[in-house]
Structure 1
Amino acid sequence: MYNKKNLLGACLSLALIALAAPVHAKVSPDEAGQLGQTLTPVGAEKAGNKDNTIPAWEPGAKRGPLSGEFPNNPKIDGEKPIYTITKANIEQYKDKLTKGHLKLLSSYDTYKMNVYPTHRVVAFPDEIYAATKENAVNCEMIGTDNPNNCKLGFPFPIPKTGAEPIWNHKLKWRGENATRYNNQMIVQPDGQFQLTKIVEDVTFGYASIKKPVPLTKEEGEFLKYLSKTVAPPRLAGTYILVHEKAGTGAGGRQAWLYTPALKRIRRAPTVCCDNPYEGTDGHQFYDQVDMFNGVLERYDWKLLGKREMVVPYNSNKIAGNKVKYKDLAKPKHLNPDIPRYELHRVWVVEANIRPGTSHTFKKRVFYIDEDSWNILAVDDYDNRDELYQFQEGHLVFAYNILAPSTIPEVIYHFNSGRYFITAAVNEDKPYDLSVSFSSDYFTSSSVQKSSTK
């Protein structure tokens, strides 16, 4: 029998469990009715801003083949900057800049930001719009890592908590399948670098129009990923296989690693969080891939609201095949004549480390584009509350599938003067979105067979 002490203890345990995994309510039908009206179908404000420096949403139309084409928009690509932010005029624009951009501008006389006219061209397929509206009234967040009753579209188009915009980023539509080159460079303070070449295959489960995999509190696998390192020789033949799921621990991400030295594939629980990504010499953590793709459980997430900010956008030049890596990688920072910046509205989310957990970053501040739900920048702070790293993702829009992504992504390491470039495709082929994969392609046994051929 329970005595009063046991009963009190049981109630306290249940209360702690409830606090650890709160369920955040869905929006009302009236709020969801704004989607496609005052809001875009994925939740951004349709209208421009009051002073017309941000225009109304004008979605781009679908065009182009599924393979062989670099990001482009002839109208946008021929424009000239309307102003340039430098160390000399930083005070004029500081309220519209990330802490990372402010540090780059104040630290280096050679750094500048060329700002161009703003264009809001991001669009998605109609199926994503319809599913997003359904999610608005059906999808809910359990804790920070378990979206429940969500299917295909953005799960939280009208976010109420800090974790929800992050999940919109993680579950965004990117096509059915993709093969891409991921070229990486650790750029030394003098501008020298060595290229690492990786070929990545991805199939999307949740955000698949053909066969969407719903997410529930019990199950849901939202993508499968396989990478193969092809250069330099010391890393060539390394494979990383990931089955990405909602949830944490054994119920969440499953990963495997194959190295030529071992000649066998093995489970890799360290493919998580602030463990260094294989082959990056510690310059990128696993949860910094795609700007952020890790579990959320180590942080408390706070939605700070929306701000107008200068961010990398419509970055077709820096992602295109006319820019060579030697022209892009310069001492201390990217060649400032190549990136394109625009003024856009972004959601700002702050993540602070939870008591009893650990991560190299004590605090992270995310800047998430309202039109695409892509994370465009992240300020990363260390345990001394100092800005330790800065991540920057250069947004491009793929008209061929109606989906945005960030190409390339950059991580600035302020303590060393080095920076890391990843997801660059300039000197290889653009994304191939026409590919398909067999049902057993993303399995450990298949990788083992491929590695020994």
Structure 2
Amino acid sequence: MKVSKFVIALALCAPVAANAGVPDNQANRLGNDLTPIGAEKAGEGDIPAWTGGLTSVPANVSYKAGDHLPDPFASDPIKYTITAANAGQYAAILTDGQKAMLKTYPDYKFNVYQTRRSCAYPENVYAATKNNAKVGELVGGGSGVAGAIMGFPFPVVNNAFEIMWNHTLRYRSYKVTRQFAAAPVTRGGDYTLTIVQDEALFPWSDPTKKKAEELNNISLYYLSNTIAPAREAGNVILVFDALNATLNGGRQAWQYSPGTRRVRRAPNISYDNPGTNSDGLSTSDAFDGFNGALDRYDWAVIDKKPQLIAANDYKAEATKYADFLKPGHLNQDVIRYEVHRTWNFEAKLRPNTRHVYARRVYHNDEDAWQVASAELYDGRGELWRVQEIQQIQRYNVPLCNSGTEVVYDLQATRYLALGMQNEEPAINYFADELDPSRYTPNAIRQLGVR
């Protein structure tokens, strides 16, 4: 893996404070030996070469706008199944979190399929990403990004900060609306579904902008409105995420509560405060794998290698909640796993700062840059929680994005599933009606009426 070793050498030794662009000879690798977003094109073992991914609706499925996406790989057979009994045979491709799940739950397993490198993005995202390679810059000691715009800011990475910024700013379209379900599941398998309507406007992906400095330090407008169950309906949160957490106070957030009928500033929607609708099973900054400021941790690359991730999980997303949410863990019969190359890196809590997670280890798929899984350790150094994010190529856009997120609490032997689309309307990645004027503290009060 000559490419991997070369890139990792850069990642392990590069300083953080003043990284700016890469030379032309490195940027020109994009679209040649690297994919347009910086993954290795070449295959390796069970990983095939990337040949362009799914850029449109495949010929073998029937799809119309507004539908959930049919599975283009439904006929793929299971290649092998990993269980606690044979885990040693596959130890090289299992993360520590996956090994812990096999030890904790006797019936846990991974059905492994042919690796399909389906991730793909629009051509304008590829063009912007290549330019970003030359002009993108870390600022604020890794807490912010300048120069770049649209797509992935650091396709040829120099350090772990850049990997996480690629996850944070990855292309998810410009204006998006969705409805999703969340379920904190008890040890016995009981749960109450929480239904949320959320929407996001990503100024980073605004096609009219030329560089990050035009965005007024806002990378994301996010609005979340809980609509069920009745006792939680009407709770609304509004978040402006910062492109540089060291400027203007970083993230800004507000919350409307129907109980008080007031909009309040909500600085608690950040870091290790309990996540919204999480029943205490996750933190605010663990939503979407990781979000928000990176400033409480020191970040370092571990390696890059083939590992197991949940990918192309169309079948899981098409499964009814009653069949999907099971005691102990999700229904592993419907989840598809593949071997992908992942960037593996860690975050260690900085001295004189606080967070409930003293160490976090992430595994990001090279073809999407997004978090695929993570291990979260407590202050004693014990593995506390395991995250998994199922990945789906949204070929109707096209873009590669997350499906269901799950956080397994190994100490409580409970789990939280969120972002579930299984019985919800399809995500709208073309919500042109959204406008920045909608995202104000006064406007969210109107949404919070039960």
Q: 2:165 aligns with which of 158, 164, 167?
A: 167
Q: 2:107 aligns with which of 100, 106, 110?
A: 110
In the alignment, what sits opposite 2:94? 97
In the alignment, what sits opposite 1:426? 422
In the alignment, what sits opposite 1:150? 148
Q: 1:62 aligns with which of 47, 53, 56?
A: 56
Q: Secondary structure at the match of 1:376?
A: strand
CA–CA separation in structure 2 for the residues paired with 1:285 and 1:37: 40
Q: Secondary structure at the match of 1:390?
A: strand
1:208-219 pair list within 5 angstroms: 208=206, 210-212=207-209, 214-216=211-213, 219=216
Q: 1:67 to 1:292 in 2, by over 3 A?
A: farther
What's the CA shift string for 1:302-322, capped at 9, x where partnerless? 0123110011000101112xx
**Which amino acid in 1 is paired with 2:291?**
N
**Which sits farther off after the overlay, 120-129 or 25-34?**
25-34
In the alignment, what sits opposite 1:334? 330
Moved over 6 A (4+): none
Q: Secondary structure at the match of 1:132?
A: helix
**Which sits farther off after the overlay, 247-256 or 210-219?**
210-219
1:204-243 pair list within 5 angstroms: 204-208=202-206, 210-212=207-209, 214-216=211-213, 219-243=216-240
* Structure (1 or 2) with the larger CA radius of gyration: 1
CA–CA separation in structure 2 for the residues paired with 1:227 and 1:267: 15
8 A Cα contact 1:44 1:370, kept in partner: yes
CA–CA separation in structure 1 for the residues paired with 2:257 and 2:111: 42
In the alignment, what sits opposite 1:193? 191
Q: Secondary structure at the match of 2:204?
A: coil
What's the CA shift string for 1:2-34, capped at 9, x where partnerless? xxxxxxxxxxxxxxxxxx971123211111111
CA–CA separation in structure 1 for the residues paired with 2:446 and 2:306: 50
8 A Cα contact 1:213 1:222, kept in partner: no
In the alignment, what sits opposite 1:255? 253
8 A Cα contact 2:241 2:292, kept in partner: no
Q: Which runs of 5+ in 1 are unaligned?
A: 1-19
CA–CA separation in structure 2 for the residues paired with 1:169 and 1:212: 20
Deviation of residue 220 (structure 1)?
Answer: 2.7
CA–CA separation in structure 1 for the residues paired with 2:215 and 2:233: 38
Q: 1:389 aligns with which of 385, 392, 399?
A: 385
CA–CA separation in structure 2 for the residues paired with 1:28 and 1:357: 36
**Which amino acid in 2 is paired with 1:364?**
R
CA–CA separation in structure 1 for the residues paired with 2:370 and 2:249: 25
8 A Cα contact 2:115 2:340, kept in partner: yes
What's the CA shift string for 1:190-224, capped at 9, x where partnerless? 1111111110011111023x333732499431111
Q: 1:350 to 1:217 in 2, by over 3 A?
A: farther
Q: Secondary structure at the match of 1:24?
A: coil
Structure 2 residue 42 is the aligned partner of structure 1 residue 47: yes
In the alignment, what sits opposite 1:270? 268
Q: 1:357 aligns with which of 343, 353, 360?
A: 353
8 A Cα contact 1:66 1:434, kept in partner: no
Deviation of residue 404 (structure 1)?
Answer: 1.3
In the alignment, what sits opposite 1:140? 137
CA–CA separation in structure 2 for the residues paired with 1:235 and 1:45: 45
Deviation of residue 262 (structure 1)?
Answer: 1.2
Structure 2 residue 341 is the aligned partner of structure 1 residue 345: yes
**Which amino acid in 2 is paired with 1:170?**
T
**Which amino acid in 1 is paired with 2:346?**
E
8 A Cα contact 2:257 2:448, kept in partner: no
How many aligned positions are there?
Answer: 428
Q: 2:315 aligns with which of 304, 314, 317?
A: 317
CA–CA separation in structure 2 for the residues paired with 1:186 and 1:161: 35
**Which amino acid in 2 is paired with 1:110?**
D
Q: Secondary structure at the match of 1:356?
A: coil
**Which sits farther off after the overlay, 98-107 or 36-45?**
98-107
Q: Secondary structure at the match of 1:159?
A: coil
Structure 2 residue 237 is the aligned partner of structure 1 residue 244: no
Q: 1:94 to 1:204 in 2, by over 3 A?
A: same
CA–CA separation in structure 2 for the residues paired with 1:434 and 1:223: 16
CA–CA separation in structure 1 for the residues paired with 2:445 and 2:215: 30
CA–CA separation in structure 2 for the residues paired with 1:369 and 1:289: 17
Q: Secondary structure at the match of 2:427?
A: coil
**Which amino acid in 2 is paired with 1:389?**
R
**Which amino acid in 1 is paired with 2:176?**
A
TM-score, reference length from structure 1: 0.91
Structure 2 residue 291 is the aligned partner of structure 1 residue 293: yes
**Which amino acid in 2 is paired with 1:319?**
E
Q: 1:398 aligns with which of 387, 394, 397?
A: 394
TM-score, reference length from structure 2: 0.92
Deviation of residue 145 (structure 1)?
Answer: 1.2
CA–CA separation in structure 2 for the residues paired with 1:232 and 1:293: 26
In the alignment, what sits opposite 2:30? 35
8 A Cα contact 1:160 1:303, kept in partner: no
Q: 1:303 aligns with which of 301, 304, 314?
A: 301
8 A Cα contact 1:139 1:150, kept in partner: yes
In the alignment, what sits opposite 1:10? none
CA–CA separation in structure 1 for the residues paired with 2:282 and 2:256: 19
CA–CA separation in structure 2 for the residues paired with 1:69 and 1:37: 35
What's the CA shift string for 1:283-339, capped at 9, x where partnerless? 12110111111210000000123110011000101112xx11111111111111011
For the aligned residue pairs, the C-alpha RMSD in angstroms reads 1.8
Q: Secondary structure at the match of 2:438?
A: coil
What's the CA shift string for 1:24-46, capped at 9, x where partnerless? 23211111111110000100001
Q: Which runs of 5+ in 2 are unaligned?
A: 1-14
**Which amino acid in 2 is paired with 1:409?**
E
Q: Secondary structure at the match of 2:155?
A: coil
In the alignment, what sits opposite 1:179? 177
**Which amino acid in 2 is paired with 1:61?**
T
